[in-house]
Structure 1
Amino acid sequence: MREHFASRFGFIMAAAGAAVGLGNIWGFPTQAASNGGGAFLVTYLVLVFALAFPMLVMEVAIGRHGQANPVDAVRKLGKSPLQQSLAGLVGYAGMLVPSLVLSFYAIVAGWLMAFLAASVTRMLGWPAATEWLEAFGLGRNIVWTLVFYLLTILVVQAGVRRGIERWSARLMPALFVLFVLLFGYILTQDGAMEGLRHYLVPDFSKVMDGQLLISAMGQAFFSLTIGGCSMLMYGSYLSRQESIPTTAFQVTLIDTGVAFLAGLVILPAMFVAMNHGVTIYADDGSLLSSDTLVFQVLPALFDSMGPVGMLMALVFFVLMAIAALTSSISMLEVPVSYATERFGTSRPRMTWLLGSALALFSVVICLNFGTLFGFVIRLSTQNIQPLVGLGFCVLGGWMWGRAKLFDELVKGTPALSDSLFWRIWPWYVRLVCPLLVVLVIGASW
């Protein structure tokens, strides 16, 4: 019998954890800082509900209908062998996304784990260990990448309820608490209010800037991991008594809320850092070292705060590690679910086997960092994932059929037929969402 989440809260925490990752906590604030602060925030909030939420409903619906791994779930949408084969190709492509993403994501998460350990060794007065942990060295990168894989494997091999749901329900509330504590402290520092104004007060003249719109659209698309199959996978574990539109809306709110909170913490922190003499913006107004800012600017800021800064560094990197882990367990769950269902092997054995294989691939990336790291990121997030998201729109909106789609959504939502949502959403996800996704693809290629 297929395992299901024990409660709606468990599903929401797990799905929100899958969506909330380093992209939300660092990617979103970095995008906001690079694209006009408040103007980017307003545009993002509009687009996350105009693009990401409707597609999330479709992905979760496909998963719950299929009650299987991504490949078998989408094959059930086809009415003929040809349609099933085409749908299966989309499923295989979708299953490839989380595996590729995890292979580089674990490396970045390993850096975070190293900085977390460094914040502890600094408190203990171990300078040699701290220097090794903070230096970008091959040995450090490999060791902490493997540590992060070990944590991910231990959660996933325990199963849906005892592993994924149990730890997501604990880690996600902890994430919010740590964010609020960090936000409260940052606001007491000189320069924080200027950063807050930059983030919350929009310059509406920038809202229609083409680059800002594309950046906000891409961030909205990727923030909920649309096309990454994690949401489809978790949807297959969702009870048929739960309302998919309501649950998807709650996941969207939490994911967007975490991104918003991240901006509340990090943009003021950047201005506090500038007040301490840390250079963040170039003379032309562009953000310096946006990809590695989390490992440069914030540690410099924490160092300037004295003993309190060491504690803040510990809190911040614990927060980042939680966000990374809740995402990574959803990524590993996708291939593990496929393999256990197809080959009939035990979950723990397949989790260790696939986790070890992906860890080995990550080590290869570390050994060929300059060549492979950026290539794998582009291949998975810019090339394959948007195409899979587009495929889900086409399969669910056109191949599945309106009547069967209604049959799935009405389970847990008895009043669906009379709602405004049902009058708009089926056509919207068929026509408008694919056009928006094509714009995202065009901008990223």
Structure 2
Amino acid sequence: MSTSRGGFSSRLGFILAAAGSAVGLGNIWGFPTQTATNGGAAFVLVYLVLAFCLAYPAFMAELLIGRYGQANAVTSMQKMSRTQWQKHFAFIVGFGGIVCAALILSFYGILAGWMMSFAIEPVTSLLGFNQGSTWLTSQSIARNLIFTALFMLLTISIIRKGVEEGIEKWSKRLMPMLIGLLILLIIYVFTLEGAAEGFSAYLNPDISRVFEPGLLISALGQAFFSLSLGTSVMIIYGSYISKKENLVSLGAQVTLIDVSIAFLAGLLIIPSMYVAQSQGVAIFSDDGSLISGPNLVFDVLPTLFDGMGAIGLFVGFGFFVLMSIAALTSSISMLEGPVSFAVERHDVDRKKATTYVGLGIFALSALIVLNFDLLFGLVIAISTVYGQPMIAMLCCVFVGWIWHRSDILEEIKQGNDTVQDTLFWKIWPWYTKFVCPSAIAIVFWHSL
């Protein structure tokens, strides 16, 4: 591995960084919201199946591309190409993932800014700054621009420091904090009236709903979004992994951590909804649909925290700090994709590239803020509902149909020299070649 590129200094460093990328608002904000919208436990069951049967094989494909290429997404995929049309195809797929990452970060920064403003609100309330508290929790262009800018500055400052001193060091700090806060909040919510009903709704699936097209599409999109697939992120992270590491076990560990934290997030949010409902807050409409939808954590949970009295200020502070940390662990990975492309393809200094790319994405965020009703939902749909599954599917096509099987085996054997005798190698190559692209394409087609 080239020392100029940097890399993860340890196995734990990669696991926490990759898990940090995977564990973000997609898990703690998106997953519980999707669960509540799509039948509770039925969605959880489908999500778990798709995460391991489709997302994990695609995740492995992206890690392998990156470690083989030892470069950004475009260069890594072009190294696998043997003909000119393959190189053009590699550029389209690799650059498409980079664009997808930039689009996600543009709306992600806005959401993360909301989390930061809601995290500060309990402090201003405790100090008696009621007008400031109202401003922090009310939608306004000024608030959105200020906090989006603050969040992007945090992200830029970490990425400017590189892989080991930036991404790895901060992932090691933030991920334990995130998991600890999540568990403490779950324990507290479970002591409240109404939590048991929410627990039951979360864990008892209605099997009749698991084949609903809308539920399948949502679950697949959630699985790909939460694992950062189709964004070039896992390709670039894979390029920073030592050749001595066992990629099969690494990929499985990251997938397991991601799914586990999504599951834990559901254990916090869904029971919290029913606790709020027991306190008189309207959660579901008469037809059983979720009232707040994507605004669940901003509408329902603050009301819940208010009903707790003085302790609610501290619980609310802890929850939104948790959300802010989750957002930051993902945003640093999404910025790294475009930055690595600028550094390696155009020979731009890392600090300059990070600043310019970060400011460019913030400009896009500002455009969304100024045209919120028109652009916010559109950018989310383009990048997460359509872009990510499509790019991830094409990565599977690339590994399955363009990259030679013998070359793939040689790459996996580095760090796992007996892999050809394992169940993984007997299943994964043909599974990635036929099953993953076909299944993703079918679900994608239904979504259209």
Distance 1:214 1:370, change over 3 A: closer
SS at match of 1:272: helix
Taking the aligned partners of 1:3 and 1:440, their CA distance within structure 2 comes to 38
Taking the aligned partners of 1:184 and 1:193, their CA distance within structure 2 comes to 12
Residue type at the aligned position of 1:371: L
Spell out, residue by residue over 1:257-305, the C-alpha distance to the aligned partner (whole angstroms, 9 max, x if none). Answer: 1100000000000000000110010000001121111110000000010
Q: Give the C-alpha shift of residue 439 in structure 1.
A: 2.5
Deviation larger for 377-386 or 358-367:
377-386
Spell out, residue by residue over 1:48-87, the C-alpha distance to the aligned partner (whole angstroms, 9 max, x if none). Answer: 1001001101100000001111111111111112211221
Deviation larger for 27-36 or 54-63:
27-36
Residue segments in structure 1 that go unaligned for 5+ positions in a row? none
Distance 1:209 1:86, change over 3 A: closer
Aligned to 1:148: 151
Normalised to the residue count of structure 2, the TM-score between the two structures is 0.97
Q: Does 1:65 align with 2:97?
A: no
Taking the aligned partners of 2:315 and 2:372, their CA distance within structure 1 comes to 30
Q: How many residues align?
A: 445
Q: Note if contact 2:181-2:322 (Cα within 8 Å) is conserved in structure 1.
A: yes
Aligned to 1:390: 393
For 2:13, which of 3, 10, 14 is the aligned residue? 10
SS at match of 1:292: helix
Q: Does 1:270 align with 2:273?
A: yes
For 1:362, which of 365, 371, 378 is the aligned residue? 365
Q: Note if contact 1:397-1:429 (Cα within 8 Å) is conserved in structure 2.
A: yes
For 1:285, which of 285, 288, 310 is the aligned residue? 288
Q: Does 1:433 align with 2:436?
A: yes
Aligned to 2:403: 400
Q: Note if contact 2:217-2:444 (Cα within 8 Å) is conserved in structure 1.
A: no
Q: Does 1:166 align with 2:169?
A: yes
Aligned to 2:138: 135
Alignment of 1:109-124 (within 5 A): 109-124=112-127
Taking the aligned partners of 2:188 and 2:319, their CA distance within structure 1 comes to 12
SS at match of 1:183: helix
Residue type at the aligned position of 1:137: S
Taking the aligned partners of 2:369 and 2:38, their CA distance within structure 1 comes to 31
Q: Note if contact 1:16-1:251 (Cα within 8 Å) is conserved in structure 2.
A: yes
SS at match of 2:161: coil
Identity of aligned residues (%): 51
Distance 1:365 1:208, change over 3 A: closer
Taking the aligned partners of 2:291 and 2:110, their CA distance within structure 1 comes to 22
Q: Does 1:182 align with 2:169?
A: no
Taking the aligned partners of 2:224 and 2:75, their CA distance within structure 1 comes to 24
Spell out, residue by residue over 1:119-158, the C-alpha distance to the aligned partner (whole angstroms, 9 max, x if none). Answer: 2111211101101111100100100000000100011001
Residue type at the aligned position of 1:209: E
Q: Note if contact 1:386-1:440 (Cα within 8 Å) is conserved in structure 2.
A: no
For 1:208, which of 207, 211, 229 is the aligned residue? 211
Taking the aligned partners of 1:390 and 1:66, their CA distance within structure 2 comes to 19
SS at match of 2:240: coil
SS at match of 2:282: coil
Aligned to 2:86: 83
Aligned to 1:35: 38
Q: Give the C-alpha shift of residue 206 in structure 1.
A: 2.7
Residue type at the aligned position of 1:69: N
Spell out, residue by residue over 1:146-179, the C-alpha distance to the aligned partner (whole angstroms, 9 max, x if none). Answer: 0000100011001100000000011111111001
Taking the aligned partners of 1:67 and 1:140, their CA distance within structure 2 comes to 41
Aligned to 2:109: 106
Q: Note if contact 1:244-1:409 (Cα within 8 Å) is conserved in structure 2.
A: yes
Q: Does 1:195 align with 2:192?
A: no
Normalised to the residue count of structure 1, the TM-score between the two structures is 0.98
For 2:351, which of 348, 351, 355 is the aligned residue? 348
Please provide the CA RMSD for this pair.
1.1
Taking the aligned partners of 2:170 and 2:215, their CA distance within structure 1 comes to 36
Q: Note if contact 2:245-2:415 (Cα within 8 Å) is conserved in structure 1.
A: yes
Q: Give the C-alpha shift of residue 351 in structure 1.
A: 0.8
Q: Note if contact 2:221-2:385 (Cα within 8 Å) is conserved in structure 1.
A: no
